[in-house]
Amino acid sequence: MTTTDLLRRRARLLGARAPLFYDEPLHIVRGEGVWLYDAAGRRYLDCYNNVPHVGHCHPHVVAALARQAATLNVHTRYLHETILEYGERLTSRFAPSLSMVLFVCTGSEANDQALRIARLHTGATGIICTNTTYHGNTTAVDELATLFHGGAGVAPHVRAVPFPDSYRPLGGLAGAALAAAYAQEVRHAIEAFQADGVGFAGMLVCPIFANEGLPVVPPGFMEQAVRHVREAGGLYIADEVQAGFGRTGRMWGYEIDAVVPDIVTLGKPMGNGHPLAAVVTRADLLEEFRAQVMYFNTFGGNPVSCAVGNAVLDVIDAENLVDNARVVGEYVRAGLRAMQDRHRLIGDVRGHGLWIGAELVCDRETRLPAAGEAHRTINMMKDRGVLMGRIGPHDNVLKIRPPMPFSRGDADLLLATLDEVLGRIERDPQ
């Protein structure tokens, strides 16, 4: 089957616009650890897939999946020990106030239920998010993706605030003044909801603002923003779908700013590819929700999903993957910063643990985004066997977010390949 044939069948079945990576799409057939293999047997270093969190096809996770699927796979309206073992183990890793869990299947479902919990609790519907975010694809969650709606909210109960950014700072401010200015935007959005009569339910953000391009958050912003949220009776919902499970070198992204959320949503890495996601929240909020809503999820929290979730935690612990993310992540950032001496394209290097962004700019003074160069970079990297993506409001931030067992040796290959590719692009601008 040629690529042309596959593309033709795909367009007819899934739609001509069903998204694909790369100018020439990859036909991947096998994965192992940090490696992906295409149909021709060529291998690629995976530097961006975060769903295969503990490595593609990790044998411990696959064995747990196969064993439980052969034993029992039913819904949660019978008693089962695995859901309790997993749920207790999971919640024990959060701040004590985050003690209860609602299992779902996807990050979209988790964020949708988080919105329901917050709106039911407050009796109001207004939700604050950032201006270039994405939290999922249900009707309610899609309303937050104002990026895809031409920058405008599609609903009166969504208000997007500028994401906190130290690289292209609001009003050219810095430090404490910058943090206060961004927090002030949150306060103004709250006041606008109150003035509209919509009322204010809460703020839903990724604690590391991953889809916003992983900005350096001005110190103090999160604390001030959440204070405004709580003073107005709203809830702070942290979307840990990308930041969670040790990705940042800490177990949860919210630990970076030490601001404990009221609701946390989990997804992608949780089941290493198995559709497992959750809402972790305060006991009073979940009991209130369950008292007023007949909530049930057919697949959520079934024994197979929970066995998989348990196996993922096993591997994170056994292989010290949180430490690895911190150490190797810092090593990659140091390598990228060293490369800034040779490559004027790299305007900024940032991130936490193994979630790393390198912003490409045409000029370090004007900081004009180099989106075309970022596009060339990821396609040329792919041709050289290294997979990475790009992200951010200008699509010019190189996205480095590999499976967690990523080693220093893997980092060396990534850095050497990127060094060569950026050199070529700089010598041969198009």
Q: Which two tokens stand for residue 183?
A: 């927090």
Q: Which two tokens stand for residue 95?
A: 């701040």
Closer of 84 and 334 to a second copy (Cβ): 84
| 401 touching a second copy, by CB under 8 A | no
Between CA 153 and CA 143 the distance in angstroms is: 7
Q: How far is the CB of 430 from a second copy (least distance, A)?
A: 25
Q: Could you identify the residue written with the tokens 């033709």?
A: 8
The 3-state secondary structure of 235-275, one letter per residue: EEEEECCCCCCCCCCCCCHHHHCCCCCCEEEECHHHHECEC
Q: How far is the CB of 72 from a second copy (least distance, A)?
A: 5
| 45 touching a second copy, by CB under 8 A | no
Q: Could you identify the residue written with the tokens 């001030």?
A: 224
| 327 touching a second copy, by CB under 8 A | no
Stretch in the footprint of a second copy (CB under 8 A) among 191-199, 272-280, 328-336, 362-370: 272-280
Handedness of CA 93, 75, 307, 316 (dihedral sign): negative
Which position among 199, 244, 246, 267 is part of the footprint of a second copy (CB under 8 A)?
267
Phi and psi at 392, nearest 5°, equal 100, 165
Which position among 97, 99, 320, 379 is part of the footprint of a second copy (CB under 8 A)?
99
Between CA 218 and CA 143 the distance in angstroms is: 27
| 113 touching a second copy, by CB under 8 A | yes
Residues 119-178 that bind a second copy (CB under 8 A): 137-140, 142, 145, 148
Q: Which of 350, 355, 392, 363 is nearest to 375 (CA)?
A: 392
Stretch in the footprint of a second copy (CB under 8 A) among 200-208, 298-306, 320-328, 363-371: 298-306
Stretch in the footprint of a second copy (CB under 8 A) among 193-201, 222-230, 296-304, 405-413: 296-304
- Look at residue 204 and give its three-state secondary structure: strand
| 296 touching a second copy, by CB under 8 A | yes
User: Contact 128/311 with Cβ under 8 angstroms?
Assistant: no
Q: How far is the CB of 185 from a second copy (least distance, A)?
A: 25
Q: Which two tokens stand for residue 67?
A: 């064993």
Closer of 97 and 138 to a second copy (Cβ): 138
Q: Which two tokens stand for residue 198?
A: 């919509």
Which position among 127, 304, 339, 425 is part of the footprint of a second copy (CB under 8 A)?
304
> Residues touching a second copy: how many (CB under 8 A)?
96
Stretch in the footprint of a second copy (CB under 8 A) among 97-105, 175-183, 228-236, 361-369: 97-105
| 284 touching a second copy, by CB under 8 A | no
In Å, how far are 142, 146, 417 from 149, measured between CA atoms? Answer: 9, 5, 36
Closer of 226 and 278 to a second copy (Cβ): 278
Closer of 9 and 424 to a second copy (Cβ): 9
Between CA 72 and CA 403 the distance in angstroms is: 29
- Other Cβ atoms closer than 10 A to 284: 13
Which position among 34, 54, 98, 105 is part of the footprint of a second copy (CB under 8 A)?
105
- Other Cβ atoms closer than 10 A to 295: 14
- In the sheet that holds 43-46, the strands lie side by side as 35-38, 43-46, 386-387
Closer of 56 and 333 to a second copy (Cβ): 56
Residues 48-87 that bind a second copy (CB under 8 A): 49, 51-52, 56-57, 59, 61-62, 65-66, 69-81, 83-84, 87
Which position among 108, 132, 133, 377 is part of the footprint of a second copy (CB under 8 A)?
108
Q: How far is the CB of 220 from a second copy (least distance, A)?
A: 33
Between CA 429 and CA 377 the distance in angstroms is: 12
Which position among 121, 268, 376, 401 is part of the footprint of a second copy (CB under 8 A)?
268
